[in-house]
Every structure is written in C-alpha cells, then in structure tokens.
Amino acid sequence: MQYGMIIDLERCVGCHACAIACKAEWEVPAEFGRNWVHRLGPSKVGKELASTYYPGLCNHCAKPPCVDACPADPVEMTFKDAAGKTITKSVAATWKDPVNGTVQIDKSRCLGCGACAEACPYGARYVNPALVDDVSSDGKADKCTYCMPRVEAGLVPACVQTCITNARIFGDLDDPKSDVAAYVKKGAKGLEPKGGNIGPNSRYYGKKKDITLLFQESTPAAIADLGSIKRRAMMASMVKPAMRKARDLGLLGLAGAILVKGLTDEKNDK
C-alpha cells in the first residue's frame, strides 16, 4: 500500500479552504502551514498564457530525505497491516511507514533540531515552537500526515473533505482500481527536486500548459547534503542545552550569548 494524493489543477479555484481546514484540524500556528496554496501566473508558456495554483503539502516520498536526516536515536517499532501481518523495523523520530507508505513523526522523541525541515526540498516541514517538552525546548517538527488519525477512523484527510470543488483526491496508489491510480494513468506527476529522484506521492494533474507552469515556477530545491545537516543538528542538540543553562545562571558573557543564538538560528541560514 502507498497512500497518495492527487491535486486536480483543472478543478482547483485557489480558495485556500484546504489550508484553513488543516490549520483548524491540527491547531497549526498562524505563521506556519502543513499545506499551502500559491497562485502562479498569468505567465507565458510557449505561445500560450497560463495561470494556475500550487497547492503544496508533504509528498510522503518513496525515498524521503527527511527520514535520513533525523539524528534521533533509533528504536524498534512494530507495524501491523490490515491482514494482521507485522513488520518490525528500526526508526528514528521520523520514518516512512512500511505498511501505508506515509511519512510520520514521533513527537515524543523529536529533538526539535530542525534537521528534517532543512532536508525537505519542498519546505513542507517546520518546527512548532509551541510544542516544547523535556526533550526539546525549541519545539517539535510538524507537517502534513495525510491525516492518518482521520484515515484510520474511516474518514478522508481534512483538506480533501473541505475542498469545495473536489480538487483533492486521496487513496491507495498501489490499488489499480483507486481514483488516485486512475489519475496516475492519465498522467498525474509529482514535483521532483533538482537532480533528485525521491518519488513524491502527492501528485498533480491538469492542462499541459498549467502543469508546465507549475513545474517551471515551483521546482523544489536540490537535495541538501544530509550528512552535513545531521552533523550540525547533533552538535546543536548537544551544545545548546548546556549553553542555555549557563546563560540562565548568568555564567555567559556576550560572546557566549551570541554563540547560543548562532546555534539556534544556524539551520535557518543554510
């Protein structure tokens, strides 16, 4: 099984109902978004004029770089499919589910380092500063989960339910009889990053000129150096707590305070 979502650009009217529904369902802070809608054009595509929208979200990729970037210590997790078959695998704080193909986050183990957010070429992750605990005083990583709690309860994702034009279609891409699989057969495509091949499972369908415009103006960033991201995150996670404690005790001067801020902000500057 591989859950996926199709965005039919011929139906999308750019109303933002999907983004608002997501915020309401998951209490997403106003300054962040698990999904978004960007207007594209009007722009010239060949000899035609194109105008469309880019409704973006986590792509639950076949080869998600965010998973490889997570520096949290792995633990053994057991997954069970609909037939009762179990799969046990070692996962960090973010992982790709071997049963349904979605990419998820264990917020209880998330370090709040932002490595996964930095690794995502789509900008589909953020660190929610409201989610602090004993593990991370910076918050926790958050993103679209394809509304798995809703799906497991027999519902569709909140954005799909709310879409006034039925432009969002959700289902199992591996099921040849599903609506999403039918769209793939008709030519629905995922936005691949520059020089990458990570298999996005949120895909787009529409008129040729609109799809061309989408790919021209919304091509994701190139895949970052995951090793470098992971090393920076691990160093920051080890150093920042001690530095903050020293700062709170008044043991740091100006140089130390600047270092603490630098470690906190470094991932935002890369």
pLDDT attached to residue 267: 46
Q: For 118-175, write each residue's pLDDT tens digit.
A: 999 999 999 999 999 888 888 999 999 999 999 999 999 999 999 999 999 999 999 9
Closest residue by Cα to residue 204 from 167, 246, 164, 253: 167
Its CATH class, for the domain covering 3-217, is alpha beta
| Share above pLDDT 90 across residues of the chain, in percent, rounded to a whole number | 76
Q: What are phi and psi of 20, to 5 degrees?
A: -70, -40
- Domain range list for the chain: 3-217, 226-269
CA distance 203 to 211: 11
- Alpha carbon distance 161, 147 (integer Å): 11
More confident residue, 224 or 92: 92
CA nearest to 67, candidates 246, 243, 229, 186 = 229
Mean pLDDT to the nearest integer, 62-75: 95
185-242 pLDDT, tens per residue? 999 999 999 888 999 999 999 999 999 999 999 989 888 888 788 777 777 666 655 5
pTM for the full model?
Answer: 0.85
Enter the tokens of residue 9: 């650009």
Q: Give yes or no for a contact between 106 and 124, defined as CB atoms under 8 angstroms apart.
A: no
Res. 2: pLDDT tops 60: yes
